[in-house]
Structure 1
Amino acid sequence: MKAIMVMYDSLRRDLLSVNGGPIPTPNFERLAARTVQFDCSYVGSLPCMPARRELHTGRYNFLHRDWGPIEPFDDSMPQLLKENGIYTHLATDHYHYVEDGGCTYHSRYSSWECYRGQESDTWVADLTPPPAEYSPHLIGTKNMNGTLAAMRRKGGWQNDHNRQRWQTDGDFAMHQTFDNGIDFLQRNGRFDNWFLQIETFDPHEPFTAPQDFDGRYFSPDDPFVPDWPPYAKVDEDEKTVENMRKKYYALTEFCDQQLGRVLDKMDELDLWKDTMLIVNTDHGFFLAEHDWWGKGAAPNYEELVHTPLFIWDPRCPGAAGQRRRALVQTIDLAPTLLDFFGVDIPADMTGKPLAGVIAGDVPVRRHALFGYHGAPVGITDGRWVLLRAVADSTVQMYEYTHMPTHMRAPFSVEEMRSTTLHPGFSFTKGAPVMKIESRVNPRFAKAQAEGEDLLFDLQADPAQQHQLENADKKAELLDAMARLCAENDAPEEVYERFGLKKPER
C-alpha cells in the first residue's frame, strides 16, 4: 500500500471554484472528480503547529498545550508507520518545522527536506538598514501592537530579503517542495509501502505569487505592492480589500497548479490503483469577512475552522466524485492512514479512521471541538455552532509538557520558575509532566468578550450573520463540550475557565 498527502496552509474551502467560489481551481475540480469530498471537515487545534501535532497524534492538542513540539509520550503517525516498515518522507517549505516550537516533527519521518524563505524564515542574511519601520508589503500596521508588531516589523524586512531569491516560478519554495515530492514519486512510485507528505506553507500570508499568477489580477503597469494583511479589524478602503483578496486568489491559483502536477504524476505512474491520496489544510483565513483579517483576534467563524478535505481510497473506487456529510476533523487523519496500512491504532488516539465515511458516509462523531489554547472554544454538530467565550479569565491555564518551547524560543527562566510536577494524563503513558503557568495569547483570549457566547444555525445562516438565543440548544452543546473535554482528559482549569460542569464518571 502507498499513500500521498498534499497539505496546504490557510486554504479556504469556500473560495475554491469546485465549491462555487471565485478562484479558478481546475485541478481541485479534477481532484473532486477522483476523490470523496468532505463537506463537514473541521479543525481541532489552532493554529499551525498545534494542528500538525494533531495530524501526528490523532488527538486534540489545545486543551493541554499551546504551540509546541511532538512530546516523548506522543504517538506520532509517521513514526509508527516507519516502525512498521512503511517508508515516510516529508517534503515541505513550512519553516516552523526548523524552529524551536516545531523541532521534533520532521525527525519522525524516514527522510525529509525543507525549502527555505517563506514568511519570516531567517534565511537570507542582509544587513542593509531598512528604509522604513515596516515593509511596503504590509498593510494595517497602525493596528498592530505588542509581540505581533515586533514580529511583523522585523519579519517584514526579512521576507523582503527572502523573496528577492524568487525570480522564476521554479525558485519559489512551494514549487521546490512539489519538485521534491514528484521526484520521490518518479524514483519510488514502483515500490510498495511508503507514505509521502508534500506540505506547503502556501497560501499562508504573505500572498506572494509568481508574476504568471499575479498578472492574472494586476497589470504590470499598475501593480498592487502589498500582499500581507494584519491580524486585525479591517479599516482599509474597499479597493484595498478587493486587491488583497486578489493577491490571495493569485497564490491559490499557484497552489492549484502544483496540485495538478501531483495528479498528472499519479496518472502517469498509474498510482490510483493502490495509492491513497489525501488533500487537506490546517485552517482557513479571514479576508475581511466579519470585518476581520487573518486569524486569532476574531471569533472562530466558519471561514477559519471549516476546511477543505479530499480523500481517494483505492479500496472504494465507487466513491469517486461523491460528497460526504459526516462530521470529521484533523484528528481523524492519523488513524485513517494507520488503518489503511494495517498498523494498529494506539488507544490514545481519539480520532477515528474514515474508511466507513468514505465507503458509506457512516458517522464517526456527533460533535467536534476546536480552538486555541486558553481562548474561546467552539463546538459544532455540523449544523449548529456554539462559540464559547472565556467565562472567567482569572482562571490560570497551564502548559503540560516535557518540551517547554514556544514558536521560536525555549520557555524563559521566569516561566520555568512556575513549574510543578503533574502526575500526567491518560495519554502520557504513566509519565509525569511539567505543569507550567501558561501565558495565553491575549489576542486569542479576547477574540470574544468574556462571557459573550455566539450561537449560529449554519443551515439557516451559513455566513453566520445572525446570532441566536436558544437556551435549550446552547445547554445541549455545552453538555457535549464538557463530555468531549472529559473524554480527552482535559485538566480541571479548562472546566473552570469556560464555566463547564464536569461530567460525573
Structure 2
Amino acid sequence: MKVIQVMYDTLKRNYLSPYETSDVSTPNFDRLKTKSVQFDNFFAGSLPCMPARRDLHAGRYNFLHRGWGPIEPFDDSMPEILKQNGIYTHLVTDHKHYWRDGGATYHTRYSSYELIRGQEGDNWKARINKNMEIEGLENLPDFAKKHKAGSISQDLVNRDYMKTEEDHSLYRTVEAGLEFLKENKDADQWFLQIECFDPHEPFFVPEKYLELYGLSQDDFNGWLLYSHDDFTPDKTEIVKGYYKALVTMCDAYLGKVLDFMDENNMWKDTMLIVNTDHGLLLGEHEWWGKNIMPVYNEIAHLPFFIWNPQVGVQNESRDQLAQNIDVPATVLEFFDLDIPEFMQGKPLRSVIESKEVIHDAALFGNFGSNINLVAGDYIYMRGPMPGKEEYLHEYTLMPMRMNRRFSTDELKGAELDNSFAFTKGISTLKMKTSDWMAKSYQRFGNKLFNYRDDPNQGNPILDADKEFEMIKKLKQLMKENEAPDSLYCYYGLDQINSVEDLLEEHKVLDRKQEIICENIKFFNQSVKEGFLTMVFSIKDKAKVELLKSALKKTNESDAISDQHLKGWIKENIDEKEQAFLFYQLDMAFRVD
C-alpha cells in the first residue's frame, strides 16, 4: 500500500469550487471531488504553520502547551513511526520554515527529503547590497519593520532567479514529487508528502495565471502587511485577484498529480490526501492575515479530500466533524500499524465507510489567543481574561521560536515541570511566555456563533445557557488534552461553574469597560476598541490618565474618532514608541 499527501499552505475553502461557487478557476479540485471523499466540516487544530505541522505529526494539539516550535523529543511522529516499521517516507517541500530554528526537527523524521529553496524571505540567494527601502512599512513597530523589510528585500532577490514558471518553487516542488513517483511507482510500502508553500503569501504568481484575472506582475508585490490601512478598495480587488491566480496555479499542479495517478492506475492501491494547515482572511471581518485576530471560519474551517482504496468510496461528502490531528492516525491505520497511546486524533476510515461520528467537539487556536470550540452547530471563541497574562506558560524541551532560539532572559525563570502524561515521564521546561501579543488578544472577548446558519460569523449570539454549555464542553476537552491548570485561570474558566457565574462575568467585564470608557463618546465600536487597546498598551499609567482626561474634554457633539487617538499619540508619546501603538491601533480598528 502507498500514500500520497498533497498539502498546501493557507488554502481557503471558500475559494475552491467544490465548496463554494465563485469566479476562481479550480477544475482539478472539481475533478478531485469526483475521485475522493470531501469533508465539509474539517477544522484546523493548532495555528499557524509549524504548530499545525506538529499536530499533523503527533496527532495532538500543540497550541495548549507552547507556541511555534520543533517536534519535541517525546512526540510520536507519524512519518517516523512509518520509517521505523519499514515503510519508506519521503518529503518534498518548498516550505522554508522547515529549515529555520522553529521547524528544524520535522523534515529529519522522514527517510529522505528534498527541500526546494526560494519561497517568501528564504535566505537563499546571496546579495549583500539589497534594497531595504520598502514602501508601506511606516506604521509597523521598529522590530517588525526591520524584520518585514528584510524578508521582502530577500524575496525580491530570490525572484530574480525565478524568471520562468519552470523556475517557480511550486513547479519545482511538484516536479520533485513526480520524480519520486516515476522512480518508485512500482515499489510498495511508501508514503510521499508533496508539500507546497503556495498559496501562502507573498503571492508570487507567473504572468499567465494573473492574466486570467486581468492582472499583471506590476500591480502588487504580493506581500500582506497585516495592518488596517493596507489597501484601498481597488487595491483590495487586486490582492484578492493575486490570491485567486495563485490558487488556480495550485489547482493546475494538483492536476499533474491526478494525471500521474490516472496514467499509472495508482487508484487501486494508493491513498490520496489533499489538505491544508489553515486558511486566511482577505478582508473578511475587516482583517487581513491569520495570526493576530480571532480565528474566524475563513481561517479555521478547511478543505479536506481523501481517497482510501481499502474502502473505495468516491464522489461523496461527509458532514462529520474532523480535523488535522486525525491525519496521522488515518495513515497509521491504513498501513495496519498501532496508533500510539497519546495520539488524540482518530482514523477517518470509519467516517468514510459508515459515517461514524468520531468527534462531537473539537478545539482550535493560536497559543495564547482565543481558545475555540466547535460543537454541533456552534463555535465558541473564548478570549484571555484581562490581567491574567502571568498564568500563560510554555512547556518545551525544544526552546525555539520561529527563527531564533529562546533568549537568555526568556530562559532565566524556567523550571522543570512533570505535569503531563504525554511527555512520557520526561520533565519539560516551564516558563512564562514572552509573547508580546498576549495583552492584545484580551480585547477580542468572547463570541458565540451558529456557524451553520451564519457561516460568515456576522451575528454573535447572546445566549448564556448555550455559552455555558459550550464552556462545559471546552473544559472537558481541555482536560482530555492535558491542558495546563494555569490555562483555566488565563481564560477565566476556573471561575465559571454555573450559568450564574457566567452572567456575573458578563457584568464585571461590561462594568470594567464602562469605567474605563466613562463619559467618552466614540464614533464607532472599532474606535472604542482602539482606545481600550491604548489603555492596555501604554506602560506609563500617568499617561493613560492623561489620555482619558483629554478625551473626556472633547466636545460632546464631536465623537472620538481614530484621528483623535492618532493625534494624541503623536503629541504625547515618545517618537520611538509611537510605531508600536499605531500598529496596535491598526489591528484594533479592524475588530468588527
1:162 pairs, out of 158, 165, 168, with 158
Report the counterpart of residue 360 of structure 2 in structure 1.
366
Higher alpha-carbon deviation: 77-86 or 147-156: 147-156
- CA–CA distance in structure 2, aligned partners of residues 282 and 463 of structure 1: 20
Deviation at 1:461, TM superposition (A): 1.2
2:144 pairs, out of 148, 173, 183, with 148
* Alignment of 1:436 onto 2:431: yes
Q: Structure 2: which amino acid aligns with 1:500?
A: L
Deviation at 1:395, TM superposition (A): 3.1
2:215 and 2:238 in contact (8 A); partners too: no
Deviation at 1:285, TM superposition (A): 0.6
Deviation at 1:146, TM superposition (A): 4.8
Paired residue secondary structure (1:378) = strand
1:326 pairs, out of 320, 332, 349, with 320
Deviation at 1:17, TM superposition (A): 1.7
Deviation at 1:424, TM superposition (A): 4.1
Deviation at 1:463, TM superposition (A): 0.9
- CA–CA distance in structure 1, aligned partners of residues 172 and 215 of structure 2: 26
Unaligned segments of structure 2, at least 5 residues: 498-592
* Alignment of 1:273 onto 2:274: no
Paired residue secondary structure (2:127) = coil
* Alignment of 1:185 onto 2:181: yes
Report the counterpart of residue 339 of structure 1 in structure 2.
333
Paired residue secondary structure (1:338) = helix
CA root-mean-square deviation? 1.7
TM-score scaled by structure 2? Answer: 0.81
Pick the structure with greater CA Rg: 2
Closer, same or farther: CA 376–503 of 1 in aligned 2, 3 Å: closer
Deviation at 1:117, TM superposition (A): 0.8
Unaligned segments of structure 1, at least 5 residues: none
Q: Structure 2: which amino acid aligns with 1:226?
A: N
- CA–CA distance in structure 1, aligned partners of residues 234 and 478 of structure 2: 44
* Alignment of 1:175 onto 2:171: yes
Q: Structure 2: which amino acid aligns with 1:75?
A: D
Q: After superposition, give the CA deviation of every residue in 1:64-118 in whole Å (9 maximum; x if it has no partner).
A: 1110101110000000000011000000000100011100000000000111111
Closer, same or farther: CA 382–149 of 1 in aligned 2, 3 Å: farther
Deviation at 1:145, TM superposition (A): 2.4
Q: Structure 2: which amino acid aligns with 1:350?
A: Q
Larger helix percent: 2
Deviation at 1:150, TM superposition (A): 2.5
* Alignment of 1:246 onto 2:247: no
Report the counterpart of residue 91 of structure 2 in structure 1.
90
1:376 and 1:445 in contact (8 A); partners too: no
Report the counterpart of residue 257 of structure 2 in structure 1.
262
2:369 pairs, out of 366, 375, 378, with 375
2:7 and 2:274 in contact (8 A); partners too: yes
Q: After superposition, give the CA deviation of every residue in 1:436-492 in whole Å (9 maximum; x if it has no partner).
A: 2212241x6524516x21111112211111111011111011111111110011111
Closer, same or farther: CA 475–298 of 1 in aligned 2, 3 Å: same
1:407 pairs, out of 402, 408, 424, with 402
Report the counterpart of residue 383 of structure 2 in structure 1.
389
Higher alpha-carbon deviation: 4-13 or 292-301: 292-301
Report the counterpart of residue 306 of structure 1 in structure 2.
301
Paired residue secondary structure (1:41) = strand
Closer, same or farther: CA 359–369 of 1 in aligned 2, 3 Å: same
Closer, same or farther: CA 219–311 of 1 in aligned 2, 3 Å: closer
2:220 and 2:239 in contact (8 A); partners too: no
Paired residue secondary structure (1:421) = strand
Report the counterpart of residue 123 of structure 1 in structure 2.
124
Identity fraction in percent: 44
1:326 and 1:361 in contact (8 A); partners too: yes
2:447 pairs, out of 439, 442, 454, with 454
Deviation at 1:232, TM superposition (A): 2.7
* Alignment of 1:199 onto 2:223: no
2:385 and 2:442 in contact (8 A); partners too: no
- CA–CA distance in structure 1, aligned partners of residues 471 and 228 of structure 2: 29
Alignment of 1:216-231 (within 5 A): 216-218=212-214, 220=216, 223-231=218-226
1:36 and 1:320 in contact (8 A); partners too: yes
- CA–CA distance in structure 2, aligned partners of residues 276 and 208 of structure 1: 31
Deviation at 1:234, TM superposition (A): 5.0
TM-score scaled by structure 1? Answer: 0.95
- CA–CA distance in structure 1, aligned partners of residues 143 and 92 of structure 2: 30
- CA–CA distance in structure 2, aligned partners of residues 165 and 445 of structure 1: 41
Q: After superposition, give the CA deviation of every residue in 1:288-333 in whole Å (9 maximum; x if it has no partner).
A: 111110112221110000011000000121x201010110010000
Higher alpha-carbon deviation: 77-86 or 432-441: 432-441
2:98 and 2:107 in contact (8 A); partners too: yes
- CA–CA distance in structure 1, aligned partners of residues 30 and 353 of structure 2: 21
Q: After superposition, give the CA deviation of every residue in 1:235-268 in whole Å (9 maximum; x if it has no partner).
A: 5221100000000001111100110000000011
- CA–CA distance in structure 2, aligned partners of residues 264 and 342 of structure 1: 28
Deviation at 1:396, TM superposition (A): 3.0
- CA–CA distance in structure 2, aligned partners of residues 147 and 26 of structure 1: 42
Closer, same or farther: CA 293–382 of 1 in aligned 2, 3 Å: farther
Q: After superposition, give the CA deviation of every residue in 1:5-48 in whole Å (9 maximum; x if it has no partner).
A: 00000000011122223311000001000000000000010100
Closer, same or farther: CA 462–13 of 1 in aligned 2, 3 Å: same
- CA–CA distance in structure 1, aligned partners of residues 31 and 42 of structure 2: 20
- CA–CA distance in structure 1, aligned partners of residues 228 and 374 of structure 2: 25
Report the counterpart of residue 491 of structure 1 in structure 2.
484
Closer, same or farther: CA 448–231 of 1 in aligned 2, 3 Å: farther
Q: Structure 1: which amino acid aligns with 2:347?
A: P
Which one has more relative contact order, counting CA pairs under 8 Å at least 6 apart? 1
- CA–CA distance in structure 2, aligned partners of residues 390 and 239 of structure 1: 36
Count of aligned residue pairs for this structure pair: 495
Paired residue secondary structure (2:75) = coil
1:232 and 1:297 in contact (8 A); partners too: no
Report the counterpart of residue 2 of structure 1 in structure 2.
2
Closer, same or farther: CA 143–300 of 1 in aligned 2, 3 Å: farther
* Alignment of 1:473 onto 2:469: no
